[in-house]
Amino acid sequence: MLRSAHRWLLAAVCALLLSVLLVAAVTAQAGIIHVVQPGDTVGKLAWRYGVRSMEIVVANNLANPNRIYAGQKLLIPVSSTVGTWLSAEAAGSAACPCEALVIANPAPGVTVTSPFTVTGLAAASAPSLVVAVLDGSAQEIGRAYGFAKVGSGSYAPFAIPVTFTVPANSQPGRIQVWSMSPRDGAIEHLNSVAVQVQGLELDPLLSQLDAVATGRGSAALSSLMADPFQLVVYGSRGLELPVSQAEVMRQFQRNALGAGAPRLDFSVDARALLGDRVVLDPAVVHVVYSTGWGPEQRDDAFLLISEVDGQAQLTGMVYVPEALIDYR
């Protein structure tokens, strides 16, 4: 009888020590908050999040694991690795147990710039992932591929860098993440989040250029120009040298802003008008056709706008003396 009592006492002490160790381990772990839904049980939650039932019991000090109720908030002691990708706040609003994919970053409504990294959780059954960036017209402007990290639980974290073609102007967009079937490449699970896509802000730059051309303001023009600036004379071979803003401004004062009266014509497709006569740098995202240059106001110019650090900037000009115009 005494030996039996000793064995019982030893077992009780061991159980107590185990509970203390579990509490210490869980406290040190990251966690996510799960709002209990009808039909949830501790066992089901343990399976869904890839943890042990006892860890959930200890983390929430549950006197009776069989008595949890809808609306109750439970701390799920996920591993610190997963906790890095999905905070408790994000999980409370996004981590529905029925979702095979959860997007933690970017959060809804944030502005994304290219490149950025999409992070979240994927079910163990969906390790092969695709990330797509959509613009305001639902056109795909970026795509990347990646994998969820292999883990022992039912969910694993993923972090997939993605770049996209920066649109002309900022606009609402969407980030999509889906898993592919290893059998035929079909979409198996899909999740998405609405964001703002940072654009080049081309329209504001064009408005400023139009105002500068109309007002002939050299100081305002220099603020819109890149330095150095690519100045090209149409039809002159080899004359494609970067020059300083100061030299460009002297040219403008002499040939345009002083004697000329330049006008920007946004109704003309400037790229189509140039055709293959001029090879443009790949960084050029937009070309503006303008007239009224030179002392006689009969010369043309094509303003070259490029992407510089994610923003539209005036980086060059193709100047066309009247005698060389062959495209009208």
Distances from the Cα of 267 to the Cα of 160, 260, 291, angstroms: 41, 21, 12
- Residue 150, pLDDT score: 63
List the domains of the chain with CATH numbers: 1-77 (3.10.350.10), 94-199 (2.60.40.2550), 202-324 (3.10.450.50)
* 3-class DSSP state of 78: coil
Q: DSSP letter string over 175-238?
A: EEEEEE-TTT--EEEEEEEEEEE----HHHHHHHHHHHHHHT-HHHHHTTEEEEEEEEETT-TT
| Residue at token pair 């920007």 | 264
- Residue 98, pLDDT score: 53
Distance CA 307, CA 168 (A): 10
Contact 202, 286 (CB under 8 A): yes
User: Tens-of-pLDDT digits for all 328 residues of the chain?
Assistant: 445 545 544 444 444 444 444 344 434 445 677 788 888 888 777 766 667 788 888 888 888 888 899 889 888 876 443 444 444 334 444 444 457 888 888 889 999 999 999 988 888 777 789 999 999 999 999 999 998 876 555 777 888 999 999 999 999 999 999 988 777 777 888 899 999 999 999 999 998 888 877 665 555 677 788 877 888 888 765 445 555 656 666 666 555 544 567 889 999 999 999 888 888 888 899 999 999 887 788 889 899 999 888 889 999 888 888 888 988 7
Maximum Cα–Cα distance for the chain, whole Å?
118
- Residue 192, pLDDT score: 93
The pTM of this model reads 0.60
Tell me how far apart the terminal alpha carbons of the chain are, to the nearest angstrom.
111
Burial 54-69 (b: 16+ CB within 10 A, else e): ebbbbbbebeeeeebe
- Residue 14, pLDDT score: 46
